[in-house]
Structures are given as structure tokens and as C-alpha cells.
Amino acid sequence: MTDTIKNFTFDELSVGQTAQMTRTLNKEDIAVFAAASWDTNPAHLDEEYAKGTMFGEVIVHGMWSAGLISAAIGTQLPGVGTIYLGQDLQFRRPVKIGDTVTAQITVLEKDEAKKRVILETLVLNQNGEKVVVGKATVLAPAEKIVRPAIAVPQVQIVG
């Protein structure tokens, strides 16, 4: 992680510009997401139950992958000061414990009149397979922002 976080203003963005963020999913990520969202679906938390599902094992919540997209948009492209207006998502493959996934953001178009940006949003697994595909609409920041980065909070899982 860098010491600062910055953005790209609407004027600095160009069609085709990309950014990405990569994470390897672990069991604790699933537990933290379940605690934050209150989504305790056993497909995500109960190994015995998950064995009987079509995936045969625990999978992460689909919105965890969407959260990685949001993190890439809010911290990298366009970055700090971006306002999320909408997101279309299609979930194509499950993400399982140990998978390494990469959220890729690409500028598809810019609407000068409304200062809106359409972004292609993809999440790929370690095999390059599309896990999530979609498009986001955002308001890119008008002003350049550079500020100290905030460390990800440390969380302890109990029980």
C-alpha cells in the first residue's frame, strides 16, 4: 500500500484507461463480510451444508466481489471523491476460498454534459475467467485530491 491516495479528475480520464485491484480470498474475509452484511446464508459459512450445493464447497458472497469493484473505483479509478450512481452486475462463476481475484476497471465513455463516466467492471479469477461482469456509472471528481492513505482496519473474528 502507498502512503498517499489520489484520484483522476473527469478531465484527466480517457476512454480505455484502466486500473485494477487484486485480493486472495480467505475464510476470514467471508466471516467479516457476513458479520458486516448480516448475510448468514449457509452456502457461505457452513462447510457441511455447502458440500450439498451445486458448488460442492463454501463460496464467497457475490457482493464481496462487487465490493472489490467498489474499492477499485473509490481508491484508484477515478478514485477519491468519486460518486457511485449505479452498477449493473452479472455473476458468472463462484469465488472460493483461496481464489485470487482481480477487479479491473476500464473507462468506456465520458459524458461531458453531465460529467458522468461509464466504466466496464470485471472481476477475473486466477485463471483469467470472468467471475463478475458489469458496468458502473459514476460522477468523477472535478478537483484533484491527494491525501494520506488510510490503513485497512484490523478485525478480529471471535466465535
pLDDT in tens, 2-57: 699 999 999 999 999 999 999 999 999 999 999 999 999 999 999 999 999 999 99
Check whether the bond before 141 is cis (ω within 30° of 0): no
Higher confidence at residue 52 or residue 159?
A: 52
Give the largest CA-CA distance in the chain.
Answer: 54
The DSSP call for residue 57 is S
Q: What is the pLDDT of residues 6-21, one digit of tens each?
A: 999 999 999 999 999 9
Whether the predicted pLDDT of 1 surpasses 70: no
**pLDDT per residue over 54-86, tens digit each?**
999 999 999 999 999 999 999 999 999 999 999
Instruction: Specify the long-range contacts of residues 34-40, CB closer than 8 Å, at least 24 apart.
Output: 34/61, 35/157, 37/61, 37/63, 39/63
Q: Which three cell numbers stand for residue 158?
A: 471471535
